[in-house]
Structure 1
Amino acid sequence: MQTKALLFISLAAILITACTEPPSQVPVYRVAKNTLIHKVSTEGELFAVNAVSISAPSTLQGPRFIATLAAEYSEVQAGDVVVTFDASQLQKAQVKASTGLAAVVADQQQKLAEQYNEQTALGLEQTLNSHEFSFADRFNIDDVQIRSRLEIIDSLQNKEYLGNKREYLDWQEHSFSQRSAGELELLQLQRGQQQSLLHQAQSGLEQLEVRSPHQGIILYETNWRGEKPEVGGMVFPGNRIGSIPDLNLQHVKLQVIEQEAVGLLAGQPVTFSLTAWPDETLSGSIVSVAPVAQSRERRDPRKYIEVVVAPTVQDPRFLPGNKIRAEILVNSIPDALLVPLQAIFSEQQQLYVYKREHSRFVKQAIQIGQKSLSHAQVLTGLQTGEEIALLNPESTI
């Protein structure tokens, strides 16, 4: 009997404990005040603010392939050759244009000779017709006492035929003049076309070398895939190949993931270090934040916001292209009531948390202010010391 009483008391105690304590598998967080620090870690590189661009000549016709390329970061003097393009395509175009021009010139000479022969033959035939007509008109006798009627009729028909033949020869001469002018004009147009192609090829051959405009170091431009010019690579007319920078003024170009770039503004402080000297921390501030996110690599689905930072001091070790690791201080709010972002839920545009009340969790509507990557500032709905669930307790039952 005593054993049953003890068993009953034990069961009652277990039931009371289960009713007064929430499920032990739900982790909780005690709300407290602390400093909200929102920092964004990212990477980037140095670049020169002022630089003279080096581009492929815009007068080149069609894409060109790089034959030689000066080493990046090498020092160049004014007039030094930086890039040379392959000449094989232009040489082929030059030979083709020269051959075409020679063929057109030969056609012109042949056509002139043919026209001269045809005009000479037509002129001789007109002269002969003129003599025959003059002879027929001079010795035309229409006296029936001297010649028979049939002879007179035959003579008149011969004279009429010669007159018609003269008119035909005159028309033929006029037609010949028009046809000859058209043929020569067509050949002249073809000759001009071939001369233009030859001039383009010769001009392109003269512009196959890109030279440095002044002294400095050469830096090459990356394309949208992050690739730099290389021997054998294709370059279109006017494309920027590289630059010769002014090393006295350099800024930092950072790439921040779009989802982490919320709240970035000009003037925010930045600390950074060169990857070659990771133990030395330098400082700066944001100069500009790009309004639109862009892809950085073809196989990277993420988009990045470009952030430009002006260093506080221009370090002599700065060199365009040097890699940078940076940390941006987006916000710092002291004495803020903080809760983890994972503990905040939303329903119908209303934010809420699961607040612990005795043996259960209840939904508590809240309003938040600033956020970091892990915490949010609570403006209303919670007080210091209250406990909230880090997970949805309804999903753990």
Structure 2
Amino acid sequence: MRRVHALLPALLVLAACGNAPKADYIVLEQAHAGPLQFSVLAEGELRAVTATPLLVPGQQWTPRQLAWMLPDGSHVTRGEVVARFSATQSVQDLAQARIDLERNLLARAGKQDDLAGKRGQLGVDLIQVDGQLAIAQRYAHATTAAIARNDILDAVQDAAYLGVRRQILRWREQQSSARGKAELAVLDAQHDTYATVAKQKKDDLDALELRAPHDGVLVLERNWSDELPHVGSSMWAGFSFASLPDLDALEVQLAVPQIEAQGVAVGEAVELHPWGRPQQQVTARLSWIAAAAQPRDRDSPVKYLLMKARVPADAARRYGWTPGQRFVGKILLLQTPHGMSVPNLALGGDDGAAVRVLSEGNEVVRKLRLGVRGATRTQVLDGLHEGDRILLDAGSHGAGA
């Protein structure tokens, strides 16, 4: 809570009397020592410092549709099903992969029959050539006493022709065998590919349930449009669906308007409680402050500075706090039972550490030693006296102070 002293009614302008100030002097307030508390109000959300991510099951980038899930914030036990998905595309892909496998098997069987037929024909041709060649070779070396000379010359020519033909048939046999092996290898590679796809799609369809890896509280993840998953949502396998936070390590992330975050530092005390439950208040300390402020709404130019404060584990267990709860935080910049402060708009001078006060009807500049600076007021450690009337000159405030 910011400590703001009430301005004098209607910004009291001192009346014309023996020690009255000039008419253009405005008295802001009269200095008074008392309890001081500078604070900044902030809002935030309870989060887990560490959490186990729960990813949409299945092969990466496989389309999924959420069919059922437990509500956000549900307590789950190890092995419990937290969500079920459907995968129509994977069903179709598996059916197509099985059809491709059957076609591949038929094509391979046909190719083997074709190769067997070719090898059989070549075998018959080789047998015929070998028989003819044997006869031709026998008569090619016969004497003239046995057969006529012309018959011997014909036999020699037949033997040469049949020898060449035999070599050609052997070459064709070798080429047919090599080409057949290559064609079968291509079909086998296609079979392996179809089998792999079929196995992936089957495994994909076997992974339509998401189970909790350990006990915890289910915290659903918001998507890019800040929406929680719901039944019927289209999702992708491998993407984050929810998380199981470590309930012994919780922190509140607060958002403070940049203009009110002046002077806030790591280590400052902060009083935290859930929305609507001030009786569950605990005190923590800021453990992290963002380096720069950022806008939170594209339609608003207001920037906020993010801050984090660890929550005592015993308090979280005692009150049953769970991640996702909205919290209110009061950052305590200063809390002392006795002290003085001045409005920030009364400060001037080259170093911003001087005020103008009225003393016996005259304006006096006082150099102050300042302490903690809040959004609207600053602590005064020295230089201000009880009862001093602090001025604001609307026309020349800060000039020459």
Residues 139 and 181 (structure 1), Cα distance of their counterparts in 2 relative to 1, 3 Å cut: same
Q: Structure 1 unaligned runs (5+)? A: 1-19
Following superposition, the deviation at residue 43 of structure 1 comes to 1.2
1:163 equivalent in alignment to 2:166: no
Following superposition, the deviation at residue 56 of structure 1 comes to 2.6
Letter of the 1:307 counterpart: K
Query: In the alignment, which of 324, 327, 343 is matched to residue 324 of structure 1?
Result: 327
SS across alignment from 1:139: helix
Alignment of 1:130-279 (within 5 A): 130-140=130-140, 147=148, 153-213=153-213, 217-223=217-223, 225-244=225-244, 249=248, 251-257=250-256, 259=258, 260-277=260-277
Alignment of 1:79-158 (within 5 A): 79-140=79-140, 147=148, 153-158=153-158
Determine if contact 2:85/2:208 at 8 Å carries over to the other structure.
yes
Following superposition, the deviation at residue 78 of structure 1 comes to 4.8
2:376 is matched with: 374
Letter of the 2:121 counterpart: A
In 2: Cα distance, 1:115 partner to 1:344 partner: 102
In 2: Cα distance, 1:299 partner to 1:123 partner: 85
Letter of the 2:212 counterpart: S
Letter of the 1:372 counterpart: G
Following superposition, the deviation at residue 117 of structure 1 comes to 0.8
Q: Structure 2 unaligned runs (5+)? A: 1-19
2:344 is matched with: 340
TM-score in terms of structure 1 length: 0.73
Count of residues in correspondence between the two structures: 369
Residues 200 and 241 (structure 1), Cα distance of their counterparts in 2 relative to 1, 3 Å cut: same
Following superposition, the deviation at residue 63 of structure 1 comes to 4.0
Residues 326-382 of structure 1 deviation map (CA, whole Å, 9 limit, x = unaligned) = 211133476455342586698xxx75889699xxx9x99999664211234578999
In 1: Cα distance, 2:92 partner to 2:346 partner: 67
Determine if contact 2:66/2:235 at 8 Å carries over to the other structure.
yes
Residues 243 and 323 (structure 1), Cα distance of their counterparts in 2 relative to 1, 3 Å cut: same
Residues 262 and 130 (structure 1), Cα distance of their counterparts in 2 relative to 1, 3 Å cut: farther
SS across alignment from 2:324: coil
1:310 equivalent in alignment to 2:274: no
Following superposition, the deviation at residue 164 of structure 1 comes to 1.3
Following superposition, the deviation at residue 261 of structure 1 comes to 4.2
In 1: Cα distance, 2:268 partner to 2:28 partner: 31
Determine if contact 1:126/1:169 at 8 Å carries over to the other structure.
yes
Letter of the 1:255 counterpart: L
Letter of the 2:391 counterpart: E
Determine if contact 1:45/1:320 at 8 Å carries over to the other structure.
yes
Residues 182-206 of structure 1 deviation map (CA, whole Å, 9 limit, x = unaligned) = 1111111111111111111111111
Letter of the 2:326 counterpart: K
Residues 197 and 123 (structure 1), Cα distance of their counterparts in 2 relative to 1, 3 Å cut: same
Letter of the 2:344 counterpart: P
Residues 202-225 of structure 1 deviation map (CA, whole Å, 9 limit, x = unaligned) = 111111011234566533233454
SS across alignment from 1:91: helix
Identity rate, percent:
25
Residues 123 and 366 (structure 1), Cα distance of their counterparts in 2 relative to 1, 3 Å cut: farther
Following superposition, the deviation at residue 133 of structure 1 comes to 1.2
SS across alignment from 2:170: helix
SS across alignment from 2:175: helix
| Structure 1, 224-233 or 332-341: larger mean CA deviation | 332-341
TM-score in terms of structure 2 length: 0.73
